[in-house]
Structure 1
Amino acid sequence: MTLIYNLGIQLMAWLMSVAAYFSPKIRLGVEGRKGLKARLQHFKDGLPAHKPIALFHAASLGEFEQGRPVIEAFKAQYPGYSIVLTFFSPSGYEIRKNYSGADFICYLPLDTPANSRWFVEILKPRIAFFIKYEFWYNILQNLEQNGTLILSFSTIFRPHQLFFKSYASFYREMLNKFDFIFVQNEESMSLLASIEHPSYGLAGDTRFDRVYSIALQAQPIASIEPFVTDLPILIAGSVWSQDMEVLITVLNQKKGRMKAIIAPHEIKPDQIQKWCEALDGKSIRYSQLPEGSLAQSDFLFIDNIGMLSSLYQYGQMAYIGGSFGAGLHNTLEAATFGLPLVFGNRAYHRFKEAIDLIGLGGAQTVSNSKELDGVIENWLANEAARQGASRTNSAYILDNLGATETIMNRVDSFLLSRYGPK
């Protein structure tokens, strides 16, 4: 099976090199990995002798944000370590390549036997954290041989995954290379128990700690303030074309009774222009803000990346995009500001927090514009209903805090046991 896996990685590398000619995103990943070995060696050569390294790996931006509380807690508790942060996807690396919480940030090399050997040989990390998922056989093999303490956190498993198939011992072998796996929920605990994994525990989801921290630290955005009037504001976060097809009809019907801040998941100027033309009332893009016109605007489009999590402070309700397509986006960022939530009724079932919030009454699903209109109308006309959902969502966040502290307490004991006092 190892041979098949390695051939698969080689095939993936070839396919990425071909796809790079057609996809700017894939091209970024291919180009970003060129010269990585030399850059990594240069970084390591500049460190004091024997300074320990902590490696954190995130697949993409969402996993980084999920892992950020642990990265920053580790940095605070172990200032003597150098932190290396790796990404697999350009959507994570390109946005967070200047993150000040890490000493070196790069792409994870593709998991060939040769790449994984030099990667681990150069870094020799004392501890390695994998955020949520991403299991790379050769990297894990070399980390294990190096004696690295290997941990995974905010991890979640589902029954359909190969780890839990009787014929997939190769994938279970990957899991067994982890010294400890911090899982999000009881189902993941049961799945690991079913394959007799030796070391795991329930810690919860560090995303709750992250979004709560964002809410506490949210600063006013001066350029947005003029948009805020006495009308309620709907924040439409990470929306796709399927979401806008449902939203535009409702926003037009509610014109004059509410406003909307709309943050597309992908910034495509031509598409945003079409949405602006389909909306009745005045639409404006954040990148084109003229002085003094926001108060009279009905719809504000955020045509940049990185503002959304702070924008929720200006809303009274939120529509979360993605559930009419590949999958629902982050609901917790809005919930932590106490916003009642609504989203599509299709691709949300993989997200425990979405199911929880629906069950508690803090979120609702819709299948079309008519249903969405009914939900928003109820929030506009029934302040008690909106406030009740708001309190529900705020309480849900508070009830699920603490994963970072649980993880760091165990990390302290693991490091003490293996390496002695820090």
Structure 2
Amino acid sequence: MTKIVDLIHSLIAMPVLALASRIAAIFNAKAGQRFTGLSGDDWKVPSHIGPTLWVHAASMGEFEQLVPVLQRIRASRPDVYIVGTAYSPSGFVHQRRSGLVDDLHYLPVDTRRNARKTVRSIDADVLLVGRYDLWRNHVLACSAHGTSVMLVNATMPSSGRKGFLRSWTADTYRRCSSITAVTEADAATLHMLTERVVDVLPDTRYDRITDRLHHPLADILALRDESVTTIVLGSSWEPDEDLFLPALRLHGLRLVIVPHEPTEDALQRIERRFPCTRLSVASAGTTGHLVVDSVGKLLSLYAIADAAFVGGGFGAGVHSVAEPAGYGIPLACGPRIDRAADAIALRDLGALHVVTTVEEAMTWITMHVVDIDRRKQDGETAGRYISSRTGSSGIIADRIDAALPKRTTEP
């Protein structure tokens, strides 16, 4: 069955994907960026001295989770040459801006020919992959070439649950030199799939969160006002904002509204309902409510918050609650948390409260935010949840170091 699926994958599925990508490039700007990047890539990795680490991250989010690992590799092994590959244009741009990779390419469609060419060109000692973005032919080519494949932050792929794809997926995963899952449940299912030892370490994104907590933007910190209680509405949508209109009546309460999409329409909608100042014109002396009219500020804004309400819980699902939790502040959100493991865990610990009505939002504010003792208790619980899950990046970096050729000593 594995050989049959290999033939379907290599001779039908991947050529169709390649054709679809070419067509999409005509009509979609992002797809066009990827196609242009692939067309102009001669796959000549510059000659270099030292071992080679190949890092593949399909998207910007997956690369962010690998950043703390790469930072630690850079610090301990400056002799290592790092080659990055990405599948999406946003992931490609993010890797380039990170300054952590020495060479960068788009990963081509997973045909046998492309895979052999890619693996030979990079000639890596180790391939580091996050989550489940293992491409079959590239993994087979690595196995034949002698490149170790390390899968980290691993979760169970959907293909591993399907009957005729299960054995095919299992064979791919068995070719990894090591697999590190993020939960005991994922480790158990991956062990059943591969029939091999699967390690468990917390997600490296917790290290990324705590690393970034120490570097908030200075202009944001200048907006801190100790005389009022500040609640940040992070990644908010209109239903999230509706809950806090009555809160404006509370004396000594300041809202910082960070719309998920800070379009001009969204900003004007908020300004019609809330007396607020746009962040772009605010300064250290600005008082009152704020609305954020740019992106990339949310994590730093949590640094000036006494509490946070995280948006998305009345829509497709709550956005990340891990970042504000890292600052050790009490949290709340809307009801849709079923796909957010951190939100569920923090709710069960009592650090996050799910609210569905204006009355429940007001109760959370008065009992868990305005009440300083309760605020401190909830915040400490949230902070411990994050801090107890850090350290994986250093362990993984040490394992990569051990798998790479040792540094040669100059005579």
What TM-score, normalized by structure 2, do the two folds share?
0.88
The CA deviation at 1:267 is 4.4
Counterparts of 1:341-420 in structure 2, within 5 Å, are 341-346=331-336, 348-415=337-404, 419=405
The CA deviation at 1:140 is 1.3
2:320 is aligned, of 317, 330, 336, to: 330
Distance between the aligned counterparts of 1:366 and 1:257, measured in 2?
22
Distance between the aligned counterparts of 1:4 and 1:276, measured in 2?
55
- Code of the residue aligned with 2:201 in structure 1: it is A
Is the 1:227–1:295 contact (alpha carbons within 8 Å) kept by the matching residues of 2? no
Aligned position for 2:291: 300
The CA deviation at 1:183 is 0.9
Aligned position for 1:30: 35
CA 176–390 in structure 1, closer or farther in 2 if over 3 Å, else same: same
What is the SS of the residue equivalent to 1:303? coil
Aligned position for 1:248: 242
Counterparts of 1:221-260 in structure 2, within 5 Å, are 221-222=218-219, 225-226=222-223, 228=225, 230-239=227-236, 243-251=237-245, 253-254=247-248, 257-260=252-255
The CA deviation at 1:146 is 1.4
Which range moves more in the overlay, 253-262 or 337-346?
253-262
Is the 2:181–2:201 contact (alpha carbons within 8 Å) kept by the matching residues of 1? yes
Is the 2:240–2:312 contact (alpha carbons within 8 Å) kept by the matching residues of 1? no
Q: 2:159 aligned with 1:162, yes or no?
A: yes
What is the SS of the residue equivalent to 1:364? strand
Distance between the aligned counterparts of 2:90 and 2:368, measured in 1?
35
The CA deviation at 1:16 is 3.6
Q: Give structure 2 stretches of 5+ with no counterpart.
A: none
Q: Deviations over 1:383-402 (max 9, x none)?
A: 22211110101111222222
CA 362–290 in structure 1, closer or farther in 2 if over 3 Å, else same: closer
Distance between the aligned counterparts of 2:370 and 2:382, measured in 1?
20
- Code of the residue aligned with 1:83 in structure 2: it is I
- Code of the residue aligned with 2:346 in structure 1: it is L
Distance between the aligned counterparts of 2:339 and 2:243, measured in 1?
28
What is the SS of the residue equivalent to 2:218? coil
Distance between the aligned counterparts of 1:91 and 1:228, measured in 2?
36
Aligned position for 2:102: 103
Which range moves more in the overlay, 223-232 or 327-336?
223-232
Aligned position for 1:2: 6
Is the 2:276–2:288 contact (alpha carbons within 8 Å) kept by the matching residues of 1? yes
What is the SS of the residue equivalent to 1:105? strand
Percent identical residues: 25
1:13 is aligned, of 18, 23, 26, to: 18
Aligned position for 1:312: 302
Is the 2:61–2:91 contact (alpha carbons within 8 Å) kept by the matching residues of 1? yes
CA 283–18 in structure 1, closer or farther in 2 if over 3 Å, else same: farther
Aligned position for 1:289: 281
CA 315–32 in structure 1, closer or farther in 2 if over 3 Å, else same: farther
1:271 is aligned, of 266, 270, 276, to: 266
Aligned position for 1:172: 170
Q: Give structure 1 stretches of 5+ with no counterpart.
A: none
The CA deviation at 1:298 is 1.2
Distance between the aligned counterparts of 1:345 and 1:367, measured in 2?
6
CA 143–233 in structure 1, closer or farther in 2 if over 3 Å, else same: same
The CA deviation at 1:70 is 0.8
**Aligned length in residues:** 401
What is the SS of the residue equivalent to 2:176? coil
Distance between the aligned counterparts of 2:316 and 2:37, measured in 1?
27
Is the 1:85–1:105 contact (alpha carbons within 8 Å) kept by the matching residues of 2? yes
Distance between the aligned counterparts of 1:27 and 1:76, measured in 2?
36
The CA deviation at 1:209 is 1.5
CA 296–402 in structure 1, closer or farther in 2 if over 3 Å, else same: closer
The CA deviation at 1:220 is 4.5
Aligned position for 2:136: 137
Distance between the aligned counterparts of 1:383 and 1:345, measured in 2?
25
Q: 2:66 aligned with 1:67, yes or no?
A: yes
Q: Deviations over 1:356-405 (max 9, x none)?
A: 11111111223344433332333343222211110101111222222123
Higher relative contact order (CA 8 A, sep 6+): 2
Is the 2:231–2:308 contact (alpha carbons within 8 Å) kept by the matching residues of 1? yes
- Code of the residue aligned with 2:238 in structure 1: it is M
The CA deviation at 1:60 is 1.9
